[in-house]
């Protein structure tokens, strides 16, 4: 968390005392820095100066409505992958004209709702989806605007579970299939197919895969225009990586945009970008309280009150997050811990063999870079209510999601008393 006070040393974030915050609001607790989010998006906007470009924040990274409102105030639109994310974006005040709908499995109901709302564009991932949009748009008597998502078969050099641009991944279509879609476009009279889209993966720490993918997209754009198929929009996706551990270096906005300028500098249409993780991850942390220390025969465990249901990334991706003891003054001895949660799964592990200052029950620990794919992937597994989320800004904070109560968690459940015939 290099852009503001390090919570392990100072115990503060943007003028807010983290220990006092945790005492008041409880743990586990997600904390987001409004100033850092603003700095990130403004640096990207500044880098894009002179280009006809729009930022479409990837809502899946963190869909909290207060976060979306903050980003909307900074001029961002939304990249959505579900009807629920569309409703979140609209509720936050993002205009439908600034929303693009991605994802491989849009239902007819979602397509219909998006057309009714008037979203700007669909990022289409298959011929079957084009058929579905045509059918639904014709039923409404409207024309939908769409881009074809290209799978450029580029290795993003990231974790296999977040790689999306190789031939074996489920996303997008091959360049050959994209050519066929444009050449047979008249069979979808209610779909204006005038855009290209790509997204090769997430947590990209090297820009070389982006450069390769953009070169292939640019070549296809020129080929299509030469064949009489004008391209009005190129969506370059997102996936920029962030610093999860000391020593990692995330791509800077200027360097990323320089790669886009190099490939698409002479493109006369609209360029869209879909940052998510890059805007949010380092702006957030997860506060958790130490429950106890447990010494096994071979390992020393630090059991905290956060669990895999609160932050799934370490269990799902073997992802690394730096972990610090809040307010550490450097006087405690170092101890090697496995940092684990209370969920009844061996996979409920945040770190293995991690050196930390010695911790005791009641100490406050911060799991860093948790602002993206943290709360948005949380669940109520083990009947654990969802954690609270707060936004901090210049010495003050606001609860932007209250801690879920048990009754709220089970609100949709009921006894099997209303039996019906199917």
Q: Which of 181, 233, 344, 359 is catalytic?
A: 344
Is 344 catalytic? The answer is yes
Q: 62, 124, 56, 123: which is closest to 95 by C-alpha? A: 56
* The listed CATH number (3.50.50.60, 1.10.600.10, 3.40.50.1820, 3.20.20.10) that belongs to domain 103-273: 3.20.20.10
HSE value, Cβ hemisphere, 13 Å, CA-based, for 308: 20
Residues 125 and 172 sit within 8 Å (Cβ to Cβ): yes
pTM of the complete model: 0.93
For every residue of 8-63, DSSP letters joined together read TTT-EETTEEHHHHHHHH-SSEEEEEHHHHHHHHHHHHHHTTTS-EEEEEEGGG--
Q: Please, what's the b/e burial string for 371-406 (b: 16 or more CB within 10 A of its CB; e: otherwise)?
A: bbbbbbbbeeeeebbbbbbbbbbeeebeebbebbee
Q: 267, 236, 276, 240: which is closest to 376 by C-alpha? A: 276
Instruction: Tell me the fold of 12-31+281-409.
Output: Lyase, Ornithine Decarboxylase; Chain A, domain 1 (2.40.37)
Q: How far apart are CA 391 and CA 389, in angstroms?
A: 7
Instruction: Give how far Cα 273 sits from Cα of 239, 276, 279, Å.
Output: 10, 10, 12
Instruction: Give how far Cα 80 sits from Cα of 96, 148, 162, 334, 360, Å.
Output: 11, 16, 17, 44, 42
Domains 12-31+281-409 and 103-273 share a fold: no
Residues 161 and 317 sit within 8 Å (Cβ to Cβ): yes
List the domain boundaries for the chain.
12-31+281-409, 103-273
pLDDT in tens, the chain (422 residues): 444 456 766 799 999 999 999 999 999 999 999 999 999 999 999 999 999 999 999 999 999 999 999 999 999 999 999 999 999 999 999 999 999 999 999 999 999 999 999 999 999 999 999 999 999 999 999 999 999 999 877 754 544 444 444 445 556 898 999 999 999 878 999 999 999 999 888 788 989 989 999 999 999 999 999 999 999 999 999 989 999 998 888 899 999 999 999 999 999 999 999 999 999 999 999 999 999 999 988 899 999 999 999 999 999 999 999 999 999 888 999 999 999 999 999 999 999 999 999 999 999 999 999 999 999 999 999 999 999 999 999 999 999 999 999 999 999 999 999 999 99
Backbone angles phi, psi at 160, to 5 degrees: -55, -30
Give the position of tokens 């997102």.
238
């Amino acid at each position: 968390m290099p852009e503001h006070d390090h919570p392990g040393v100072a115990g503060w974030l943007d003028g807010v005392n983290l220990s006092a915050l945790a005492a008041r609001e409880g743990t586990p607790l997600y904390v987001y820095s409004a100033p850092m989010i603003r700095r990130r998006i403004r640096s990207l906007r500044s880098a894009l100066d002179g280009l006809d470009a729009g930022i479409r924040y990837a809502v899946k990274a963190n869909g909290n409505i207060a976060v979306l409102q903050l980003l909307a105030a900074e001029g961002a639109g939304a990249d959505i992958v579900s009807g629920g994310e569309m409703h979140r974006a609209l509720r936050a005040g993002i205009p439908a004209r600034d929303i693009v709908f991605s994802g491989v499995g849009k239902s007819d109901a979602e397509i219909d709702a998006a057309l009714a709302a008037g979203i700007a564009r669909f990022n289409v991932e298959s011929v079957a989806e084009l058929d579905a949009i045509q059918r639904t748009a014709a039923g409404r008597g409207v024309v939908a605007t769409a881009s074809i998502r290209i799978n450029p078969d580029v290795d993003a050099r990231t974790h296999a579970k977040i790689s999306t641009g190789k031939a074996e991944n489920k996303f997008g279509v091959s360049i050959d299939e994209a050519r066929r879609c444009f050449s047979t476009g008249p069979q979808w009279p209610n779909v204006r197919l005038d855009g290209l889209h790509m997204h090769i993966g997430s947590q990209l720490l090297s820009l070389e895969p982006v450069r390769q993918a953009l070169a292939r997209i640019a070549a296809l754009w020129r080929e299509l225009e030469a064949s009489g198929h004008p391209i009005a929009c190129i969506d370059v996706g997102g996936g920029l990586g962030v610093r999860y551990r000391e020593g990692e270096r995330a791509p800077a906005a200027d360097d990323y945009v320089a790669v886009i300028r190099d490939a698409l500098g002479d493109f006369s249409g609209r360029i869209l970008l879909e940052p998510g993780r890059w805007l949010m991850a380092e702006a957030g942390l997860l506060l958790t309280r130490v429950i106890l220390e447990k010494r096994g025969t071979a390992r020393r465990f630090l059991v905290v009150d956060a669990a895999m249901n609160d932050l799934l990334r370490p269990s799902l991706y073997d992802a690394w997050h730096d972990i610090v003891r809040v307010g550490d003054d450097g006087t405690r001895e170092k101890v090697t811990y496995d940092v684990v949660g209370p969920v009844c799964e061996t996979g409920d592990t945040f770190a293995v063999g991690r050196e930390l200052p010695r911790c005791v029950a009641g100490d406050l620990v911060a799991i860093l870079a948790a602002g993206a794919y943290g709360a948005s992937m949380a669940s109520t597994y083990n009947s654990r209510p969802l954690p609270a989320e707060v936004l901090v800004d210049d010495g003050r904070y606001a609860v932007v999601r209250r801690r879920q109560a048990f009754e709220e968690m089970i609100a949709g459940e009921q006894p099997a008393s209303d039996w019906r015939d199917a």
